[in-house]
Amino acid sequence: MAHDHNVNPNAPLEYQSETGRLNITGFWTFLGAEIALFSTLFASYFALQARVGDGPTSNEMFEAGLVMIMTMLLLTSSFTCGIAIHEMRANNKKGVIIWMIITLILGAGFIGYELYEFVHYVHEGVTLSTSAHWSMFFILLGTHGLHVSIGIGWIILLLIQLARRGLTPKTASKVFISSLYWHFLDVVWIFIFTCVYLMGMVN
Amino acid sequence: MDLKWNEFIITGDPLILGAQISILLGSIAVVAALTYFKKWTWLWKEWLTSVDHKKLGIMYILSALLMLFRGGIDGLMIRTQLAKPGMEFLDPQHYNEVFSTHGVIMILFMAMPFLIGLINYIVPLQIGARDVAFPYLNNLSFWTFFVGMALFNISFIIGGSPDAGWTAYTPLATNEFSPGPGQNYYLLAIQIAGIGTLMTGINFFVTILKMRTKGMTLMKMSMFTWTTLITMLIIIFAFPVLTVALALQTFDRLFGSVIFTLQGDGNPMLWVNLFWVWGHPEVYIVILPAFGIFSEIISTFARKQLFAYKAMVVSIVTISVLSFLVWVHHFFTMGNSAEANSFFSITTMAISIPTGVKIFNWLFTMYRGRISFTTPMLWALAFIPNFVIGGVTGVMLAMAAADYQYHNTYFLVSHFHYVLISGTVFACFAGLIYWYPKMFGHKLNEKIGKWAFWIFIIGFNVCFFPQYFLGLDGMPRRISTYTEADGWTGLNFISTIGAFMMGLAFLIFVVNIVYSWRFSPREKTGDAWGLGRNLEWATSSSIPPHYNFAVLPEVTGLDPYWDMKEKGLDQQKNVDYKPIHMPNNAATPIIMSVIMGAAAFGLVFHWYWIGIVGGIGIFITMIARSFDYNDGYYVSVEEIKETEAKANK
């Protein structure tokens, strides 16, 4: 980029190069767009929540235990992801990789349970075509699940780069950005947990 | 989808056959010419893979001009069909397809890329930057736009065009009422192009926030840069809504969900809401940069600083906020409560306040200015009264009770053509002519340009002014024909004459481009009009070198280049050069976008395996990009010296 020479050695590694700083700002902006995207999905879900047609309602299907396990897995993964960034600030490459791998395992566990839930619903006869309510349920949760899955794939790529190249301003900014993404997905899940599952089970 | 081969390629219509043959011959001619002149490598290295914001800007504008031609032909076909009662030029199905593609192409594949092209070329120069924040992403944005555009355009020769209107309202656009691939083209092509627009939004937002040259605070930015900044902010929050809306309808059509359908307790009105939650901000996405362009041109050719700069900034920001709060005015008649209609009626009328502020500021900028009546200035001057007509009829439409009368009539059609053409299209012409010397090193011929201008604005008014009266007479939009007894014949015929005048003016404009390329004198300085006020005119040569500025300029106030000229400073001369870091070309964006287009093409026809293979291909290119640690290169001091010495100044 036309601005790489502008280096600030006193900042944390990920903020040292101008490219790193721009990428982080750009990613925050992207997260703004992601908020708009998920807001639209949530709004559509709310608009169609009562439209179950001949299909079952939420509280006939949801199971609190499963959702609690998924929530704990994802919340914990956000915590371990934070520790990974803490290790990065301490310039400990090994620590970053270990904590990120733990994060990914927790994330994969979450995805596993989500797939189990979807398959379970389909076996019970609830699919994308059951009713407007369930269409939006699968699309909203599917979009979040797809984001988590892409995040897992992405972070694996970054860990390979990290192992090969060590902690540099460039790898550090990449890992930092992936952590922002991961935390963001956690925040979205909190809304899904509250607005889809808890409210769905109360109604 | 069970398609027979004879249904796959559209046959049996002489107009479409003509288009197919001309597309085929045109493609063969381009390929042959590139091969004969051995230009393939040049095309690939200098243009297709370039991350230079200036070249991307030019490619955007060329695509937009092509689409203006395509969308214009659609418009002329509509007007020909309506010229007389009972015309049999287009059958009703074909007519539906033509007005649907006319709308989509003009808004999404003409107005947006034209403005984004001008933004690409000019904004980095105006903020004194050497490139955008994310040059690679900029190239990817262009290619996703281009592939989306190509996919949308092939629909009319392969499979059939969308025919549910540019708004694609459900339930009309669901599988039940719009079987066939047309609507799938709409969904997937706009989806791909929309992703590119979102990336452009992020890119320029960060560029303007983070890459302004020394001394240029936010309140010292040019007005075009300000409007771009706010436009990008609107894009960032509006386009994800479109992404979701399109994705939901795609799921309905391809994967059996029941969101907007009449089955499964779906709600078609949700689409209408989502579409306009994006659609109304979209209107401001295409009008705010136009306001910026007019601000630049008016202040330049009135030789005065823009009047009430701060009020201009405040009104842009106000418009951007209000633009998200008015979407229901597009469907006052579709069963909302009186309270809801009242709220959206008031917010809609409120938009006219900041817009009025801007109109007065332009007038006061010209007041006591020494005005040069150049072609770009003529377009800007014509914009003001014509846009006011469009705006005032907009306020009429904003009154919910009265809207029951105007809704879905030619009154509305005329209103939005008045704002979109005299706002956006005039600005595109004005901006292109104004900055043409900066892009190509010579001006467009003023005399021919003025002919094009006068024919266009007279044609524009002849075409659309009668439509207000047709609308008040009750002529509904989107009808393919009418009868003598309706009494709309005379005004329709006049309107058609106007449309062809606009077509003629466009041809003259294109002729002017060719004529000027051959005969216009080459510009010797970077300040082609001699009146430049902002930094895009401060480059050392008429066409800026690829690094834009050998030395980044410093800014102390508004209109920095005017300031430098008054003080007799030339910041680009007699200084110590340092090596300049520039980004490398990128080949993955075009590859990724083409794969995206192929995958979408498969999905249009429900060939899911192509979609899956394409999806894998997209991920592979993304992985390749992730492992690409190419950091660009340095332009050496010798090369800078050589380039600057060659500069005309």
Chain A residues with a Cβ under 8 Å from any Cβ in chain B: 1-5, 21-23, 25-26, 29-30, 32-34, 36-37, 40-41, 44, 47-48, 51-53, 55, 127-133, 135-136, 138-139, 153-154, 157-158, 161, 165, 170
Domain presence at residue A42:
no
Q: Give the CA radius of gyration of chain B.
A: 25
pLDDT digits (tens, 9 = 90+) for B372-401: 999 999 999 999 999 999 999 999 999 999
Cβ contacts (< 8 Å) between B549 and chain A: which residues? none
What's the full length of chain A, in residues? 203
User: Which of B266, B547, B632 is closest, CB to CB, to A132?
Assistant: B266
CA distance to B292, B384, B469, B472, per residue, from B391 (Å): 17, 10, 17, 17
Return the pLDDT at B360: 97
A5, B270: Cβ pair inside 8 Å?
no
Return the pLDDT at A6: 67
Return the pLDDT at B572: 62
Residue B333 half-sphere exposure, CB side, CA atoms within 13 Å? 9
Query: d(Cα B66, Cα B647) in Å, to the nearest integer?
Result: 32
Provide the whole-model pTM. Answer: 0.96
B198, A138: Cβ pair inside 8 Å?
no
Among the listed residues B368, B360, B363, the one whose alpha carbon sits nearest the alpha carbon of residue B315 = B360
Cβ contacts (< 8 Å) between A29 and chain B: which residues? 202, 205-206, 236
Query: d(Cα B211, Cα A19) in Å, to the nearest integer?
Result: 11
Cβ contacts (< 8 Å) between A41 and chain B: which residues? 244
Domain presence at residue A8:
no
- Who contacts B194 (Cβ-Cβ below 8 Å, separation ≥6)? B148, B239, B242, B243, B246
Q: Are B161 and B154 in contact (CB under 8 A)?
A: no
Return the pLDDT at A10: 81
pLDDT digits (tens, 9 = 90+) for B523-548: 888 899 999 999 999 988 889 999 99
Return the pLDDT at B157: 86
Q: Are B85 and B484 in contact (CB under 8 A)?
A: yes
Return the pLDDT at B347: 96
Return the pLDDT at A24: 97
CA distance to B26, B198, B281, B561, per residue, from B142 (Å): 22, 11, 21, 30
pLDDT digits (tens, 9 = 90+) for B122-134: 999 999 999 999 9
Query: d(Cα B229, Cα B209) in Å, to the nearest integer?
Result: 8
Domain presence at residue A40:
no
Return the pLDDT at B5: 62
Supply the range of the domain harboring residue A149: 58-202
Into how many domains does chain A fold? 1
Cβ contacts (< 8 Å) between A30 and chain B: which residues? 202
Structure tokens at A3: 């601005």
| Amino acid, single-letter form, for residue B354 | P
User: Which of A4, A48, A165 is closest, CB to CB, to B632?
Assistant: A4
Report the CATH number that the domain containing residue A196 is assigned in CATH.
1.20.120.80
Consecutive H or E run containing B62: helix B53-82
State yes or no: pLDDT of A26 exceeds 60.
yes
CB pairs under 8 A between A and B: 139
Consecutive H or E run containing B339: helix B338-366
Domain presence at residue A174:
yes
B256, A26: Cβ pair inside 8 Å?
no
Domain presence at residue A88:
yes
Q: Are B414 and B465 in contact (CB under 8 A)?
A: yes
User: Which of B236, B277, B623 is closest, CB to CB, to A33?
Assistant: B236
Strands (E), B235-355: none
B131, A2: Cβ pair inside 8 Å?
yes
pLDDT digits (tens, 9 = 90+) for B563-582: 998 888 766 666 788 999 99
Return the pLDDT at B20: 82
Cβ-count burial of B7 within 10 angstroms (0-12 exposed, 13-18 middle, 19+ buried)?
Answer: middle
Return the pLDDT at B24: 86
CA of A28 vs chain B CAs: smallest distance (Å): 9
Query: d(Cα B305, Cα B299) in Å, to the nearest integer?
Result: 6
Cβ contacts (< 8 Å) between B128 and chain A: which residues? none
Domain presence at residue A142:
yes
Query: d(Cα B464, Cα B470) in Å, to the nearest integer?
Result: 10
| Alpha helices in chain A, H assignment, sequence order | 13-16, 18-48, 58-61, 64-89, 93-123, 132-165, 169-191, 199-202
Mutate to test the interface with A, among B202, B233, B547 (most CBs of A within 10 A): B202
- Who contacts B550 (Cβ-Cβ below 8 Å, separation ≥6)? B540, B572, B575, B577, B580, B640, B643, B644
Mutate to test the interface with A, among B195, B232, B244, B249 (most CBs of A within 10 A): B244
Domain presence at residue A25:
no
Consecutive H or E run containing B511: helix B489-519
A44, B270: Cβ pair inside 8 Å?
yes
Return the pLDDT at B14: 80
Helices B608-626 and A132-165 sit at what angle, rounded to 10 degrees? 30
Mutate to test the interface with A, among B259, B271, B623 (most CBs of A within 10 A): B259
Return the pLDDT at A11: 85
Structure tokens at B497: 């004459």
A22, B255: Cβ pair inside 8 Å?
no
Residues of chain B whose pLDDT is less than 50? 649
B580: contact with A, CB 8 A cutoff = yes
Structure tokens at B214: 């020394």
**DSSP readout, B72-127?**
HHHHHHHHHHHSSTT--SS-HHHHHHHHHHHHHIIIIIIIHHHHHHHHHHHHHHHT
Looking at residue B444, what DSSP letter applies? P
Domain presence at residue A162:
yes
CA distance to B82, B538, B649, per residue, from B525 (Å): 50, 9, 5
State yes or no: pLDDT of A1 exceeds 50.
no
- Residue corresponding to tokens 């502008």: A6
Query: d(Cα B595, Cα B604) in Å, to the nearest integer?
Result: 14
| Amino acid, single-letter form, for residue A48 | L
B264, A154: Cβ pair inside 8 Å?
no
State yes or no: pLDDT of A4 exceeds 80.
no
